[in-house]
Amino acid sequence: MSERAMIIVGAGETGARAAFGLRERGYQGRVVLIGSESHLPYERPPLSKGLLSDTAEPKYVARADRYESVGIELVLGQSVDSIDRQSKTIHLRDGVFYSYERLLLATGARPRPFPGLDADGKRIFYLRTYADALALQPWMAPDRKIAVVGGGFIGLELAAIARQAGAGVTLIEALPRILMRGVPEVLAMRLQTRHVAEGVDVRCGTGISSIDSRPGGVTVLLADGMQIEADIVVVGIGAIPNTELAAAAGLQIENGIVVDEYLCTSDPDILAAGDCCNFPLSIYGGRRVRLESWRNAQEQGMLAAANMLGEARPVSGAPWFWSDQYDLTLQVAGLLDEATTTVGRHQADGGLILFHLATDGRLVAASGLGTGNSIARDIRLAEMLIAAGAHPDPLSLADPTSKLKSLLRAA
């Protein structure tokens, strides 16, 4: 194992895209992709956006023969125990070691646990992996009662799937409303109204005093004294970046593995990308963020590959994420908390797009909710306006007959 290689730790979306990106850029040396799960790299969004409703296998980034055909060495079902920066080696828990030329940490994130409550695979669940989704599938049935803790994207998507399967759902959110972080109230309330219409019992603004799991079910005692009886509890209260390996190696950590605009850590031969890293956004004055989104995982995987080869390409563009619930799609581009003014555009089909402007009139974010893909095109154009630093006319933004492409050309 003494031959130096491009080593990627973390066989998720980011890691797999980086491995293929190295080959697409003509790198001829060894590429080793190491993952702790035994499955081929797969996409995580389908876990909460559809996989729970059927028995499908994961949506793989690529099939095994594609990795083999381009010479990517897969080391699956293995964990990395340590990084030796001086000798430029990584050591697996089974004693095997690899020498690296450049190292990419794409270690992702893990579910944030409810205090004192561990997943038991029987009555208490989290949703992050394919194995988690398989364990939850049998509970998506008409005769089941599910308590969902957390009114974020995972909790809401899971609630929608459970209701569509006929299960009873109670959703508990400690904050005053669902999607309190990162989604405008008007869009969040539209989604909440839809969940209630579908039969979800939404409880906001109340904490949880205790969760009692027993062989026959689960009792959730709320802070207001109410009790929720359920067959299972699913916790979706956020994620924690997997930084332990990086921290033990002496890399800088602050809400993730700290990287520069080129995804380089405090060690120039080690990069980090995806859910685990904290990086600066130039279009927001270098503001640091850590993003947990499918597109960010994809794009940073490809960017990391380029920069492992010395291309020095900076992070660019605006953050973007989406959520599918029932027949509705929510999309958010940019950073909403950079805005001071919001302009709404009402679509003929009932969809709503919000444009979020900074004090100087610059478009810094856009958000929308509509049926199917009805908002997708305008949100994509808004992303381009954000990236261009545009100062669009608010009246044009509000007018659904005004073409955003025209505003983009003017920018």
Amino acid symbol at 7:
I
Residue 50: its pLDDT value, please?
A: 67
C-alpha distances out from residue 56 to 66, 117, 146, 325, Å: 21, 29, 22, 19
Token pair belonging to 160: 């929608």
Position 1 pLDDT exceeds 60: no
Residue 179: its pLDDT value, please?
A: 97
Residue 57: its pLDDT value, please?
A: 81
Q: How far apart are CA 255 and CA 378, in angstroms?
A: 32
Q: How far apart are CA 237 and CA 322, in angstroms?
A: 17
Phi first, then psi, for residue 81 (nearest 5°) are -85, -40
Residue 51: its pLDDT value, please?
A: 63
Q: CB 8: neighbour CB atoms within 10 A?
A: 33
Residue 283: its pLDDT value, please?
A: 93
Q: How far apart are CA 311 and CA 305, in angstroms?
A: 9
Position 406 pLDDT exceeds 70: yes
Q: How far apart are CA 200 and CA 316, in angstroms?
A: 39
Question: pLDDT-derived band of residue 3, with 50, 70 and 90 as boundaries?
Answer: confident
Across all residues in the chain, what is the average pLDDT? 94
Position 147 pLDDT exceeds 60: yes
Going by C-alpha positions, the residue among 12, 28, 15 that lies closest to residue 302 is: 15
Average pLDDT on 274-297 reads 96
Q: How far apart are CA 288 and CA 259, in angstroms?
A: 10
Q: Which of 113-127, 149-163, 293-307 is predicted least confidently? A: 113-127
Residue 411: its pLDDT value, please?
A: 77
Query: Using one digit for the tens of pLDDT, what is the confidence trace for 350-384?
Result: 999 999 999 999 999 999 999 988 999 999 999 99
Going by C-alpha positions, the residue among 239, 126, 37 that lies closest to residue 15 is: 37
CB 26 within 8 A of CB 118: no
Residue 48: its pLDDT value, please?
A: 83
Q: CB 387: neighbour CB atoms within 10 A?
A: 17
- Ordered domains of the chain (ranges, CATH): 5-110+239-308 (3.50.50.60), 113-235 (3.50.50.60), 327-410 (3.30.390.30)
Helix (H) / strand (E) containing 178: none
Position 348 pLDDT exceeds 80: yes
**Maximum CA pair distance of the chain?**
64
Q: Which of 121-130, 192-201, 350-359 is predicted least confidently? A: 121-130
Helix (H) / strand (E) containing 394: helix 394-398
CB 178 within 8 A of CB 204: yes
Residue 54: its pLDDT value, please?
A: 64
Residue 330: its pLDDT value, please?
A: 97
Q: How far apart are CA 119 and CA 117, in angstroms?
A: 7
Query: Using one digit for the tens of pLDDT, what is the confidence trace for 9-62?
Result: 999 999 999 999 999 999 999 999 999 999 999 999 888 876 666 657 888 999
Structure-derived torsion over alpha carbons of residues 378, 383, 389, 393, reported in degrees to the nearest 10? 20
Token pair belonging to 103: 């190292």
Q: Which of 340-344, 372-376, 395-399 is predicted least confidently? A: 372-376
Percent of the chain with pLDDT over 70: 98
Phi first, then psi, for residue 206 (nearest 5°) are -140, 135
Position 312 pLDDT exceeds 70: yes
